[in-house]
Structures are given as C-alpha cells and as structure tokens.
Amino acid sequence: MDVIDKPIIENVSRRSFLKGLGLASGSFVLATTLPFGHIAMADTAKHNALNVFITIHANNHIDIICHRSEMGQGVRTSIPQIIADELEADWSLVNVVQGMANNAYGSQNTDGSSSIRKAFLQLRQIGASARYMLRQAAANFWQVSIDECLALNHQVSHQITGKSLSYGQLAELASMMAPPSLDTLRLKDKSEFNYIGKKLASIDLPDIINGTTTFGQDIQIPNMLIASISRCPVIGGKVKSFDASLTRKIKGVKQVVEIGLTPGAVNFHPLAGVAVLATNTFSAIKGREQLEISWDYGKNLAHQSAEYLAKRQSLVQQPGKICRDEGDIGNAFKQHVKQVNAVYTVPYLAHAPMEPPAATAMFHSDGRCELWACTQSPQRARDTVAKALGLDKDQVLVNVTLLGGAFGRKAKADYLVEAAILAKAAGQPVKVVWSREDDIQNDYYHAISAQYYQGALDDNNQVQAWLSRTSFPPIASTFKKKAQSQGKFELAGGFADIPFDVRNIRCEHIDAPAFVRIGWLRSVANIHHGFAQSSFVDELAVAAGLDAKDFWFKLLGDNKNVALNRGGFKNGNYGASAKDHPINTDRYKEVIELACQHAGWGKEVPEGEGLGLAVHRSFLSYVAVISHVKVLNNHLQVKKMYCVADAGQIVNLDRVEAQMEGAMIFGMSIALMNNISIKDGQVEQSNFHDYPMTRMAQAPEIEVTIIESDGLPGGVGEPGVPPVMASITNAVYAATGRRIRDLPLNKQFSV
C-alpha cells in the first residue's frame, strides 16, 4: 500500500504550528539562549522556530510553547502562566502550543515533579527577555531611552509623552533584536505578579468538558490499522510458536506480526508477543482472542510474590549495606533497653491510569517515522524508537497528545516502539491500543518492599538510637539486567535523608533481584519509605506515652537546616543544592502544626474513630496529612483528610490544590486496596474489579491548605502521596488499637 505523506489528524489542535512556523510578516519569534544552556542562538531574522518559546503575531495574539506533557497536573497552564507574567502579556490573548520532541527546549521529561521547580527561574527569564526586547523595539521607534519605556498589559508606553504601542505593532521590530544578556534583565518583584500564584483555570478544561480534547487513544489517520498485542505474561519469556489461522478468518484482520524478545535488560523494549493488525479495534481484539500461542516462559516463571516478600521480611532483620552511619548505634542499643522494632511491607503496585498506553506511528516516503502518543518523555521516546529502528534521531518525530493520567508509566517508551515497528512491518500507519488488562498485567511495577525499623528511647523518652533497613528491587534493574542494589536517589527518597535530631543513626539496604519490570510510580521510593517512617514514629510515640504531634516536634529537635551529607550519606536532594533547598525542620513543624489546627488534633472523637498524623518531605516539598477514620464491625471508612503542604512559591494555586486532593485519593487507593500479586511469574490481577481504585462512595471530604511562601518552588505532583498511607494506618491504630504494618488494609478490613 502507498505510504501517506501528509496525514490528516483529527482534533489535534495547532499540531502544525512547529512545522509551519515560517511566519507571516509581523510575527516575532523569541530566541532563547538565556535559560537553557544548550539552546543555540536563533537567527530571529530567519524565524528559526526550533529554538523559540514565544511568538507574537501582528494581531496581538501570542503563542507560548509548553515543552512538558500535560497529564492532569496543569503544566500546560502553569508554564505559559510564568512566561506570560514576566512578559506582561494579556492572558486572554495567549495561545498555548504543545512542543514536539526537541532538544532545543532542554529536558522534556515530565517526571520527578520537576517541570516548575527546575525551570521556574529560566521560564521567568524567557518572559522577561521578550519584555525587554519589546521595550527596546519601542525605544528605537520613538528614538528614546529604553528606561523611559514601560511594558504593561500587552503594550509598551512612553512614560513621558504617554504614547503607546501594542505588542502586535512592535512584533516586527522586536523580531530584529538579539536577546539581551541575563544581567540586563529585571525580573518582577512578587508584588508585581499578575498570574503567578493565582488560580487560573486550566486552559484545557473547556475542551475536556466538551469532549474535543485529543488523547493518545483519539488519534485517527486515514488508512490506519489498529494493533492489539498478546504479550508473554512472564517477563523474559518469548513465543515458541503460534497459529493464527482462525485469527485471519475474522473480518477486518489484515496482518499478524510476531514481536521477538530483545535480549538483555528489559529497558523500554517491547515485550515479546504476537500483534494482530486490523481495520478496527473490535476486529483486532477478536482476532487476538483467536490466537493459539505456545510460550517459552523462561526462568522468571518461578517468581512468587508472596514467597519473595516473606524473604525480604526476613532479610531486613539482618545486617545490610550501610549507607548512613552516625554515632555508635551498637552501644546506644546496649545502653537503652526501652526499644521498639517493626517490619513494614508494601506490595507491587501498578500505575493504572484512566487512559492505558496508546501510540500511533507512520512512515513518510523519505524514511522518517512520525508518532503521536500520550508520552511523558517525548525526547526519550524519540531516541528509543530511533535506536530500535536503526534511524537517526532527527528521522523520528514525536507529537505529544494529552495524557489521560500517567503517574510515571508513560515515561517509558515501549508502546511507542511497538507502534513504530508494526507500522514499518505493515507499510501503513498503525495505532497500538492497550486494553486495561494489558496495562495492569504488563506494567513497569512499583517495587515490592520490606523495611525494618528499630529505635531506642532513654528515660526522658528521647530517641537515642535509630536503625532502619530497606529492601526492594531497584529501578536500575530495568536498565541493567543483574542490578540488585538500590540507587542513591531511591535511598534519598525518605529513607537515609531523615531529618531527626538523633545522635546514633544507621541506615542499611539489602540487595533485591527483580523478576518483573520495575519502574517509577508517583513519588517512587517515598511510597514505602514514607509509610514505614511515619508509622514507626507513631509507634515510638505510643511507646514513649507521648502525643504523636509532640513526639514529632521532639524528634525533629531544634535544628533548622539539617546537613545533607550526614553520616557519610551523600543525599541526592532531588537534584537541588543544599543552599537553595536545605532540609528545614521548621518547615516540617509548620505543616504539622497547621494540619493539627485544622483537624482539631486532640479533640474527643466517638468510639471506633481516630485521627492519624503523618508527615514527609519529598521532591523538596513538605506535606503533613491527618486522616480521620471510623471502624465499625470491621468496616473501615476514611471520613475526612486534612492536608497541609509547603511547596515554596506556588505558580497556579488551583492546580496545586487539585494535585494535593488527587494525591489523597491516590494514596488512599494504595493504603486500602492496591495489590499486584505474582504467581508462577504472572500477574494475577487484570482490571479494576481486582485492582480497585478509590470510588466516589469511598472518597472522604478533603481539606487542603497550601502555605504561602517566598521560597523557591518545590515539587507538587508527587509529594502529597507519601504521608497518606501512614496517616490512615495510624488513625486505625487510634480507633482500634490494631497496628497495621502490611499494606493494603483490605487484607484486614472491609473497605
């Protein structure tokens, strides 16, 4: 069949912007050497669109590129919001354009709660640079000093004569300017912000409401085939043989393609399997159901998650590799006999976003491969596809759709590679559609884990010794087949970076082999470490006979900024410097204090009810959560949750509040119900009936408080999750006296 060179993409608004930006006369494209060191200087006279973030048109409309992926966190609003504020743009005239995979934008990996916290200053500089260039253009036009020209509300005025020119009128002149140096720029004072810190509605909300938004599943290209893939249910397995004779009899089925096993680490390679390509989704699925496949399951067939977890529980009670060691832990335990110890576990977890993975690929006649996908990492996807197909990176184009949820799953590019290799095999466009079952049974799972904690109290109920051990298969196993040791960033995820005022601390980790694909999930290792740490603090408080809030304050001590390299552990600190983002115990205390105030901590509650407190720092932000639960006839209900977050300077208050609300629900699902179990190497769960999410009837009232701060931005999308689980289990203890150390809670209660 003929390969289509110019696909018609339905509902992908402004998709052609980056390709067609030769620009009509009067448009101003801002070049950006400023914020990202590896962005080349653009020739503004030639309108080099690949090196720009801002375009101002003669009609006053402004296009601002969002280089990160939108998955519900609001980044397509908040990134342009920052630029527009420093630009002094009229928000009603701003049009947001989604950036394709392009190294000119710096990192496009939308993960690690990094989109704002890592680029806040640079994005402000982009807007301020454009504002300066517009002022300079006006000054040149009027033949006056730039110091006499004020940019305000989408126009530049001459403060002496009162003359003014709109941004659209200045666009052509400004396009002739070179960007100014950084020392020329004056960033706004916080008091001058028009948009930063405000509640701007999501720019995508109208299209989401009326159903015109394009997600990865929505892409339609003429002559496109739909692919449904039967993948080996055991990681590392492969196809021995298959019979597709019945499949080929189904109307609409056009081709059956085997996908071989890629040797080595799983990386982002497709899983081995058999793909059915058809003219419609129904035929592809029905054709897949008729496949007769004989699998070679490989050695991972022996993996049993229950046995694996039991072994982790045993191993963490034995010495491991030391990653932090302060004082004399052995002597401290000998001197103080009042001791507490506990083991905590978290099972494998799946991402299970509402929109399963989906990707569409086609080849152009010149050999280029173009993809449309709900991807968190367009550059990584481009590079992975290029390597898999033996193409140069510039031969792969990746268009980013909106993501119907992701939580880290869509940062992996395996499903884009599937689409690309099948499009090449078919000689026509192919969309790979994952079902819910495909997604849950073939995920990159959050690591199963066990943690051991031991503490010793003196006569004044001061913690004199703290020992913790952790064991879980590391994310490195995805990229290096035999990797078993946890990475520094995982150990810095709420484990070895503890801020406590304790003289004797030792943190150890135990190697763990991987038998499934391990990936990052919303807040990563902070999930199990946050659960264990706040649970154990609560247990120590009970042993000390102290209120949990008071015990937290006692444990945090009088320190303000805690050294990051304590006890020999070089804390990753989420890629930030200790100067910009120290571990600050006052910020811990403030979120605890406010959460307790809002929840009425210490108040009398009816029998069978209780409040539980947990607090955690992750991705440079501090979050305290108090859950109010009720347990009646062994039925557990979460009645209300109070969340207080300090994430530094906030860009969009509405989105930050929404992210914290979502984190409460996400954490509830983990605490109450989420559990991926493996039997004979295969995932036992398949859909929401056996991997349930928090339903509306289960969802509690949620009260969120965001602390106003002048500090640098911290992360937002992930930090709300880690304290949730322990806040619920601690509340269950307060209500019932039953200490739950093994998630999920539906193993003990009906929920």
Q: Report pLDDT digits (tens) over 498-520.
A: 999 999 999 999 999 999 999 99
Considering only 29-38, 481-490, 604-613, 630-639, which range has the smallest mean pLDDT? 29-38
Do 616 and 719 touch, CB atoms closer than 8 A?
yes
Nearest to 420 by CA among 458, 465, 382, 467: 382
The mean pLDDT of 250-265, rounded to a whole number, is: 97
Residue 24 in this model has a pLDDT that exceeds 60: no
Q: What's the pLDDT score for residue 545?
A: 97
pLDDT category of residue 559 using cuts at 50, 70 and 90: confident
Supply the DSSP symbol for 1: -
| Whole-number average pLDDT of the chain | 92
CA distance 630 to 735: 7
**pLDDT (tens digit, 9 = 90+) per residue, 44-94?**
333 322 237 999 988 999 999 999 999 999 999 999 999 999 999 999 999
Task: Looking at the structure, give the CATH architecture of the domain made up of residues 28-210.
Answer: 2-Layer Sandwich (3.30)
Q: What's the pLDDT score for residue 695?
A: 97
Q: What's the pLDDT score for residue 42?
A: 33
Nearest to 353 by CA among 218, 516, 448, 216: 216
pLDDT category of residue 28 using cuts at 50, 70 and 90: low
Polymer length in residues for the chain: 751
Domain residue spans of the chain: 28-210, 216-299+357-433, 305-350+444-747
Considering only 160-164, 205-209, 454-458, which range has the smallest mean pLDDT? 205-209
> Among residues of the chain, what percentage have pLDDT more than 70?
93
Q: What's the pLDDT score for residue 9?
A: 33
Q: Which residues of 535-550 are buried (b: 16+ CB within 10 A; e: fewer)?
A: bbbbbbbbebebebbe
If one looks up domain 216-299+357-433 in CATH, what number appears? Answer: 3.30.365.10
* Domains 28-210 and 305-350+444-747 in one fold: yes
Give the bridge partners for 278, in sequence order.
226, 253
Q: What's the pLDDT score for residue 13?
A: 30
Helices (H), 216-344: 281-289, 305-315, 329-335
Nearest to 219 by CA among 356, 411, 374: 374
Q: What's the pLDDT score for residue 571?
A: 81
Residue 470 in this model has a pLDDT that exceeds 80: yes
Supply the DSSP symbol for 740: P
Structure tokens at 63: 């296009």
Do 256 and 277 touch, CB atoms closer than 8 A?
yes
Supply the DSSP symbol for 45: G
**Residues in Cβ contact with 313 at an 8 Å cutoff, skipping those fewer than 6 apart:** 343, 345, 450
Give the bridge partners for 151, in sequence order.
156
Q: What is the largest CA-CA distance in the chain?
A: 83
**What CA–CA distances, in Å, run from 717 to 74, 164, 328, 592?**
10, 42, 38, 20
Considering only 47-56, 229-238, 489-498, 625-634, which range has the smallest mean pLDDT? 47-56
Strand 449-457 with 338-346, pairing: antiparallel
Q: What's the pLDDT score for residue 25?
A: 40
Residue 698 in this model has a pLDDT that exceeds 70: yes
Query: Class for domain 305-350+444-747, per CATH?
Result: alpha beta
Considering only 370-374, 533-537, 561-565, which range has the smallest mean pLDDT? 561-565
Q: Give the residue, 639 or 9, on which the prediction is more confident.
A: 639
For 160-182, give the secondary structure using H, E and C.
Answer: CCCCEEEHHHHHHHHCCCCCCCH
Nearest to 450 by CA among 471, 481, 433, 422: 471
Q: What's the pLDDT score for residue 26?
A: 54
**pLDDT (tens digit, 9 = 90+) per residue, 639-657?**
999 999 999 999 999 999 9
Q: Give the angle subtended at the CA of 716 by the CAs of 378 and 125, to the nearest 5°.
A: 70
| pTM value surpassing 0.75 | yes
Q: What's the pLDDT score for residue 214?
A: 95
The mean pLDDT of 694-721, rounded to a whole number, is: 97
